Structure 1
Amino acid sequence: MKKNYFTTFTLFIIFSLVVSSVYAEEPWSKYPDNSDKEFMDANAFYETRDKNLYTEYEGAKVNSREKVSYKDINKILSKFDDYGNARVGGNGYHPKRQVYVFVTVSKEGDKMKKAVFDAEKHQPIAISGP
């Protein structure tokens, strides 16, 4: 009987260690805060981005290029709600991580493209639009 208690107790300790090590990692450890770093402005980044991922409409009604904190992405995108669903979401990014937000609306106002890029890694976080 004592052997079963010892086995159960040992398994409980192992389980507790595994669970605590999994939850000890920061939720944004892959994309931490980089607010203390300097990155190029949004216009300069736009000129260097992969043109296959995002380009502005020719003769666009609206073009927006901004560098903001991750937590402010939807605050920027909410300005374009009149042209369609502009919100994005995601996990793993620190709220203060710097990102580039680009939005372009066609001349007629019936199409919208948006793109969000990580300022440090230059990788796309979200891209949508025709």
Structure 2
Amino acid sequence: MWPPEFREHQPDDHDVEQNETTPWLQHTGWPRLFHDRPLGIIAATARKPKLAWNEDYLLGQWNDTALRSPAAVEAQLRIILRGVDLMIDRAVFTLAKTSYRSRCCSIPTGKITFGPTNSKL
């Protein structure tokens, strides 16, 4: 038997109806994309990579097929996550060493927009 995190949650009609009305889900179209898909396997892909360096990671079963993430991919994901951890640690360290006054001055006062900018780093 699969652990609880691999079992598919079958929401009732009310749950689906409520969840599909959120602006994010409407924008992404995820309810249509993931309809009748193995949600347990999709959720498993969001977990941290497996710690064993030489083993594939079993994501779950679907249509009598075991879906695995190859050990090489898991190793690459561990490296990427380590890099992200280092970036976050550096940002937190920088923030801790930056004076309150400097942090307040760096907050934008206008409307924040997302998209391409003309700034050159």
TM-score range, shorter chain: under 0.3
TM-score using structure 2 length: 0.24
Task: Name the structure with the higher strand share.
Answer: 1
TM-score using structure 1 length: 0.23
- Relative contact order higher in (CA < 8 Å, ≥ 6 apart): 1
